[in-house]
Amino acid sequence: MKKLLLLTFTVMLSAMAKAQQTGTVKGTVLDESSVAMPFSNILLLSTSDSSLVKATASDMDGAFALEDLKMGSYFVKISMVGYQDFNSPKFQLSDAQPDFQFQPLKLQLNTNELAEVTVTAKKPFIEQQVDRTVVNVENSIVSSGNTALEVLEKAPGVTIDRQNDALKLKNKNGVQIMIDGRLSYLSNEALMQMLSNMTSDQISSIEIITNPSSKYDASGNSGIINIKLKKNKAFGTNGTFSVSVGDAYIPNSTDDLYRASSNLSLNHRNEKVNVFGNLNVGRNTWYNDNTLIRSTNFEGLRSEFDQSSKRFGKGFYTSGKLGMDYFASDKTTFGIMLDANNWNGSMVNTGLTEILEISEGNQVRSSLEPYSNRDMDNWNVTGNFNIKHNFNDKGKEVTFDADYSGFRNYGFQAFNTAFYDAEGQLTNNLIQQNTTPSDIDIYAAKVDFVIPTESKVKIEFGAKTSYVKTDNNFLFEVQEDGRWLVDDGKTNHFVYTEFVNAAYFNIGKQWDKIGLQTGLRAEHTTSEGNSITLDQVVPRQYLSLFPTMFLNQKINDNNSLRYSYSRRIGRPNYQQLNPFLFFLDPYTFQRGNEYLNPQFTDNLELTYTFKNAINLSLGYAHTKDNMFDIIEQDDQTRITYQTEKNLEKVENYSANLSFPVPVTKWWNMHNNISVYYARFRDSNVSGGVLDVGQAAYNFYTGSTFSLKKGWSAEANMWFNSPQALGIIRTTKPQYAVNVGAQKSFWEKKGKLKLNVNDLFLTSFFAGDIDYQNVDLKVTNRWTSRRATLTFTYNFGNQNVKASRRRSTATDDLKQRAGGNNN
């Protein structure tokens, strides 16, 4: 009996082993000139009834792989716009030969005549999907060697306010930045620095999501920008190495504007373990100058100020990531990840302020020359532990994340301001210094469940908890008689703590032509801002609900509609709440606002899609307690300062049209046009009633050219019209033309790219303020025109499955952390 049982058990194991054996089909798609065809549609069909078994698309080298296939008889169908469909001969997968490798498969053009230029398919730089806009960075020539910030500047609907170190989406502030689904909670200044140090060689694509679902954190007044880093595909080992060098030229600036970076990514995977890592090092430089023309009137004295400042910064950055996924079983995966980055730099600020005083017809001139030197050393370390368990193969799963993020930022700035009389004689020297250490610790954990049902109902729910503590002990000193004395009016020790608990629930149902998803997120926030120096404590506690609703309607094969609604919150970052003073010169400074409240926005959007290519969207957003920049002026002291306050109401209407234009077989164009109307209203802003509104528009057009012998080229242009930004109005349009060319070689393992951004130096800012007692005109220039040469080499097995993309629990907090590392 035992022998019979043993024999039966052995037969069952053998049968199970055979049943579990799977096969693989691989191949490469070429055009008739033997050039790789990326993004070709690959369909695996059964020879018995021509039913679809599996589908994929070819990669940038034209390669494809269909995995985990049952034994049987198949054939492959390949299609591509502008080419004849290809049907392969049938082939057999068996236990003896489970893998099948095609010889290179060539597609034929629909026309018999081939133009002077070879046709290749390529994703457009800007791709409009139903629920988001995708910027395909990985294969863009004009983005090569750029920073993430410079790439975002080319994205439709995204505005970079370099005057205030801020990002805006569809003319609204409060954008949340995500890295591979992980929100980065940095201050505006630190966020801009991070994006300036992240190279495009690290980025695969950028997703712009204006109406996220309840699964996402409610932070982000205007939506989410998700930066997806590059990854790979199958078992084995591979890597990518790239190096970029670039230089900029801005008239009347500085000669030292060159930058360089190198990036190395490695990945190894077998059946149980996936180990991955990345190292990025580089040198960055920037230049920025401002001019401010303003006047004050007080008791018969009119003072006219002509202020100019120049800031030049440089430094070195290093970022690295190391992680591992352990596949405990087919259903359970454990992961750990550690990433760190360091920025060590300096900035020199020089300027000249000329003052004309007019009283009873008499004129007196004087001037001052501010000089400062700032050193910065900033560290950030993030650790993540992750578990993912699939209950079945139908999508039922649970994920858990536990995280820690720590920021250690240190800054030291020395000031020397020289005052001169009308004859240019030195009358006084004001010598100051400040030390700005900032420590931030973030702890968080979250759990997410996904439960699909057989009735096409999908349920998602989860919870999250986070705790943040930031400690800023800023010391400001002034030199008198050779001694350093603490300036009590500018010194401040500020501690901020925040505890947020959140839970969400989503439910969706798919019918034949209708898809519906609705959800609700609840977030309870307890925070305390404590200015130890000023002996001021600002406690807050509030519960907020954030509903979402999405409805997709397929009218027919060519037409569809999408309706969406979401409510979101924009919390002030930790530096915005700190009442510390940041000086440009003795008459101009910036101050935080410890009483700044969060802002809440209701977003409505309707999107029409034609043939999955042309998208027209209409949107409306209503923001309560909008956080906006304000300039206030004390006519008696003649000091002007910038801070942020809450505005009672802002309404934003928008329309966006996105459409591709296939000009020829070798020339593809993508276009995006957006129109906005923003209205800012408040019953009391600096003692006056604010009610301003202005229509604005922007557009983007980009073209890709596929040429012979491995050559390709790109050109694009973006344009922003003048617009209203609260009390500030831009007075001239901003636009830029970007061009680039690329050569592939070594069987497409090597690529050399050359591009030039802002070719005609036209993207600079000019604006004015004419409100209450403030009459100010401002211009701003920065390092916008830059030429970059990039070399990229892929080595090893280029079909490696990279690390799992996963979001961590501290993601929604890191964007509000960080110090002053301009």
For 695-738, how does the pLDDT look when each residue is reduced to its tens digit (9 = 90+)? 999 998 988 888 888 888 999 999 999 998 888 899 999 999 99
Domain C-terminal end among 68, 87, 106:
106
63-96, pLDDT tens digit by residue? 888 887 888 888 988 887 667 778 898 888 888 8
Distance CA 549, CA 167 (A): 26
The mean pLDDT value for 631-640 works out to 89
499/496 Cα distance (integer angstroms): 10
Domain boundary among 78, 106, 134: 106
SS (H, E, C) 226-258: EEEECCCCCCEEEEEEEEEEEEECCCCCCCCCC
Among the listed residues 804, 745, 796, the one whose alpha carbon sits nearest the alpha carbon of residue 265: 796
Q: Hey, what amino acid is at 734?
A: Q
Confidence of residue 3 (pLDDT cuts 50, 70, 90): very low
pLDDT on residue 430: 93
Rounded Cα distance, 607 and 132, in Å? 11
Q: 373 and 513: one domain?
A: yes
3-state secondary structure 561-584: EEEEEEEEEECCCHHHHCCCEEEE
The label of the residue with tokens 């557009």 reads 699
Q: Does the residue 58 lie in any domain? A: yes
Q: Answer whether 478's CB lies under 8 Å from 485's CB.
A: yes
Burial 583-595 (b: 16+ CB within 10 A, else e): bbbbbbbbebbbe
Question: What tens digit of pLDDT does each residue of 425-477 get?
Answer: 999 999 999 998 989 999 999 999 999 887 788 899 999 999 999 998 889 99
Confidence of residue 20 (pLDDT cuts 50, 70, 90): very low
Other residues' Cβ atoms within 10 Å of the Cβ of residue 577? 24
- Whether 527 is in a domain gets the answer yes
Mean pLDDT, range 34-56, rounded to an integer: 76
| Calpha distance 549→161 (Å, rounded) | 31
Domain contains 44: yes
Range of lowest pLDDT (7-11, 332-336, 478-482): 7-11
The whole-number average pLDDT for the span 347-376 is 94
Residues counted in the chain: 822
Instruction: For residue 640, give the 3-state DSSP assignment.
Output: strand
Q: Both 332 and 470 in a single domain?
A: yes
CB 800 within 8 A of CB 265: no
pLDDT computed for residue 317 by the predictor: 93
pLDDT score at 570: 84
Exposure of 604 by Cβ count < 10 A (0-12 exposed, 13-18 middle, 19+ buried)? middle
Among candidates 346, 194, 409, 406, which has minimal Cα distance to 280? 194
DSSP 710: T
Q: CA–CA separation, 184 vs 220, rounded Å?
A: 11
Contact assessment for residue 188 and residue 573, using Cβ atoms and an 8 Å cutoff:
yes
Domain-located, residue 469: yes
pTM (2 d.p.): 0.70
> In 3D, which of 195, 219, 722 has the Cα closest to residue 444?
219
Tell whether the model's pLDDT for residue 802 goes beyond 90: no
Buried b (16+ CB within 10 A) or exposed e, 429-446: eeebbbebbbbbebbbbb
Q: What is the pLDDT of residues 239-292, one digit of tens each?
A: 889 999 999 999 999 999 999 999 998 888 787 888 988 899 999 999 999 999
The amino acid that residue 447 corresponds to is V
Are 479 and 501 contacting, i.e. CB atoms less than 8 angstroms apart? no
More confident call, 660 vs 293? 293
pLDDT at 117: 35
Which of helix, strand or coil describes residue 453?
coil
Our separate counts of H helices and E strands in the chain read 5, 49
Buried b (16+ CB within 10 A) or exposed e, 412-427: bbebebebbeeeeeee
The answer to the question of residue 8 being in a domain is: no
Can you give the pLDDT at residue 116?
35
Q: What local confidence, expressed as pLDDT, does residue 182 receive?
A: 63
Does the structure show a pLDDT above 50 at 1? Answer: no
What pLDDT was estimated at residue 624?
A: 94
CATH number of the CATH domain containing 94: 2.60.40.10
Over residues 139-181, the pLDDT tens digits come to: 666 566 667 776 776 666 676 665 555 676 765 666 777 776 6
Q: Which of 805, 781, 810, 786 is closest to 311 using CA atoms? A: 781
Q: Terminal CA-to-CA distance of the chain, rounded, Å? A: 79
Q: What integer pLDDT is reported at residue 46 of this predicted model? A: 84
What number of other Cβ atoms are within 10 A of residue 453's Cβ? 12
Q: What is the mean pLDDT of the chain?
A: 83
Determine the residue type at 139.
N
Query: What is the percent of the chain with per-residue pLDDT over 90, rounded to a whole number?
Result: 42
> What tens digit of pLDDT does each residue of 107-124 get?
876 643 333 333 334 566
Helices (H), 699-818: 811-814
d(CA 693, CA 809): 39
Q: Would you say 350 and 310 are in contact if contact means Cβ atoms under 8 Å apart?
A: yes
φ/ψ (deg, to 5) at 572: -65, 140
pLDDT tens profile 602-616: 999 999 988 877 889
Asked whether the predicted pLDDT for residue 651 surpasses 80, the reply is yes
Helix %, strand %, coil % for the chain, to 5?
A: 5, 65, 30
| Domain encompassing residue 48 | 21-106
Structural domain total, the chain: 2
Average pLDDT over residues 296-316: 93
Is residue 807 assigned to a domain?
yes
Residue 804 has pLDDT above 80, yes or no: no
Question: In this predicted model, which residue has the larger pLDDT, 36 or 407?
Answer: 407
Pick the residue with more confidence: 525 or 209?
A: 525
Give the 3-state secondary structure of 164-224: CCEEEECCECCEEEEECCEECEECHHHHHHHHHHCEHHHEEEEEEECCCCCCCCCECCCEE
Does any domain span residue 252?
Answer: yes
Q: Which of 558, 669, 548 is nearest to 609 (CA)?
A: 558
Q: How confident is the model at residue 665 (pLDDT cuts 50, 70, 90)?
A: confident
Report the pLDDT value the prediction gives residue 367, as an integer from 0 to 100.
Answer: 95
Q: Which of 475, 386, 337, 438 is nearest to 816 (CA)?
A: 438
| Pair 92, 232 in one domain | no
Q: Does position 183 have pLDDT exceeding 70, yes or no?
A: no
- Domain stops at, among 59, 82, 106: 106
Phi and psi at 726, nearest 5°, equal: 75, -120
Q: Give the mean model confidence (pLDDT) for residues 60-65.
A: 76
Cα(677)–Cα(526) distance, rounded to whole angstroms?
35
CB 84 within 8 A of CB 40: no
Beta carbons of 161 and 149 less than 8 angstroms apart: no
Residue 275 CA to residue 268 CA, distance in Å, equals: 5
Tell me if 151 sits within 8 A of 144, measured CB to CB: no
pLDDT of residue 581: 73
Q: What is the CATH number of the domain that holds 410?
A: 2.40.170.20
**pLDDT tens for each residue of 498-524:** 999 999 999 988 888 888 989 999 999
Within a domain: 189: no
Residues 665 and 659: their CA atoms lie apart, in Å, by 17
